[in-house]
Each structure stands twice: as structure tokens, then as C-alpha cells.
Amino acid sequence: MKSNLHGTFGTNKVFEQEGVDFVVKGEEVIESTGEKLPEVSFRLRRFVSSNPRVKSAMAQYYKPFARQIDMGTLPAEKGDELAIRLFIDVCLVSWAGVLDEKNQPIECTKENAYKLFKELPDLFGTLQKYANDFESYKDDVGNS
């Protein structure tokens, strides 16, 4: 059933499942050397209950800690770790332009992603917010 709300709230299911590119930093040039650094982007799937990865990953990560979560005794650090690992499994498809201190590409692996998001919690929060926002997955957004 289509309604007059689909244009406002409808999303592209392909974008939700395959991910869309979110640019977090544009291309830049190092003045002293003239070296070009690439644009930094993350391809993210939507974090939504209709994403089949969500239920599976939630059970995998949170079920062993259900009692602590219910009682409010789960240490904050463990909660942060679970949230990051869940996000990586469910939402992170790939990244481009993430470089080390020598401007060499860092491979997009689960462990590298965990280290990056743990060290840069504001980056993680930004990506998490993007993946939760239905506006990021509308037909007119598309993959950049």
C-alpha cells in the first residue's frame, strides 16, 4: 500500500541493506608537500529492526549479558564495547581513505574498526547517528 507519507518517510531497501557512502572528511592537500589526501568515507547499512543482521547480532552480543543489562550492573566500558562491535557487524560495510600516521591505507577489518571507533568515540557517534537516520537511506540520497 502506498500512501501520501511514502515520499516523506519511505526509504530505499537496497540502500538499507547494501549501505550508502557517508563522507566524513573531504579530500585535502598538505601544503608543505603538496601531497593529496583522499576523501574519507564509510559505507553504512541502516541500523533498523527490518535489517536481518540486527536481531542476530543483538542476540550474539547482548544475550550473554542480559541479566547485567536488566539489573543495570553492566560496566559502562563493556556496554560501549558491545555497542561498537554490534555496529561494526550490522552497519559497517567498508571504508575508504582511512590512513595511518604515515598516510598509508588502513584495511577495513573488524579489529581495525573497533580500535578506530574506540579511540575516536565522536566518529563512532557520528556514524551511528547516520546509520540510525532514515533520511540517510531515502531514494533521493543514493550512494555517493
pLDDT in tens, 53-71: 888 888 887 788 888 888 8
133 within domain boundaries: yes
Structural domain boundaries enclosing 83: 14-137
48 within domain boundaries: yes
The average pLDDT across 100-105 equals 93
78 within domain boundaries: yes
User: Cell triple for residue 131?
Assistant: 546509520
**Closest residue by Cα to residue 83 from 109, 103, 112, 54:** 54
| DSSP state, residue 35 | P
Cα–Cα dist 20/44, whole Å: 5
**Which tops the pLDDT comparison, 19 or 53?**
19
Cell numbers 563522507 label which residue? 23
Q: In what order do the strands lie in the sheet with 40-44?
A: 20-25, 40-44, 92-96
Q: Into how many domains does the chain fold?
A: 1
21 within domain boundaries: yes
2 within domain boundaries: no
SS3 1: coil
8 within domain boundaries: no
pTM equals 0.83
3 within domain boundaries: no
9 within domain boundaries: no
Phi and psi based region of residue 67 (left: phi greater than 0; alpha: psi -120 to 50; beta: remaining): alpha
SS3 46: coil
